[in-house]
A = this chain, B = another copy of it.
Amino acid sequence: MTEKQENILNAALTLFAKEGYTATSTSKVARQAGVSEGLIFRHFKNKEGLLQAILQQGETRIKELFIPILTTEDPKEAIRLTLEMPFSVTESEFEFWKLQFKLKWELEYNNPEKMQPLQQALTTAFQQLGYETPELEAEFIMVFLEGVSTAIIKDNMSDKRKFKEFLVQKYKI
């Protein structure tokens, strides 16, 4: 991976996350990255290939985020870690997550199976805690997680710290 190649990926991530995939032209990416437009196609074949390269980079990061939740033995910790996840998105990951949510709506790019392992872990957790309908409890959290993530990315939450505390209290975890 050359320096210019990285510049292209960074510029594309920033622009795609800010303006959207369709609305961002390859010439704009090239200008922002400080390279010729042709270089994008040399390295990534086409615009779609550029997007895939960005997504593949992020795929790894997503899986790493899930590891502690999937490996913990304590069911309460699994639930707490899940609920806290959207609150612990770092500055550097922010653009990638925003892009992820944008693409879900911009392209018909639906892959809920990526979240399936997490939902399964939550189901098991609620089962261990003796809940009557653990599948529905897990689905409830997953659905709620979508809302929380959206609110955080769009900066629509009144007080993140307070809200997070409220959640922990609600689930007594």
Contacts and interface: CB of A to CB of B under 8 A. Distances in A.
Interface of A: 20, 22-23, 101-102, 104-106, 110, 112, 133, 135-136, 139-140, 142-148, 150-151, 154, 156-158, 162-163, 166-167, 170
A7 to B, nearest CB: 25
A102 to B, nearest CB: 5
Interface of A is mostly: helix
A148 B158 contact: no
Contacts of A146: 146-147, 150-151
Given A104-B154, A106-B102, A166-B133, A148 B143 contact: yes
Contacts of A105: 20, 101-102, 104-106
Contact of A136 (B133, B136, B144, B166): B166
- Count the copies: 2
A34 B97 CA distance: 40
B151 A136 contact: no
Contact of A143 (B22, B133, B147): B147
Nearest to A119: B158
Contacts of A140: 163, 166-167, 170
B139 A163 contact: yes
Across the A-B interface, the 8 shortest Cβ-Cβ residue pairs: A147-B147, A146-B147, A143-B147, A136-B166, A105-B105, A22-B22, A22-B23, A102-B105
A102 B110 CA distance: 14
Nearest to A158: B139
A101 B102 CA distance: 10
Given A22-B20, A23-B22, A156-B112, A162 B144 contact: no
Contact of A147 (B145, B156, B158): B145
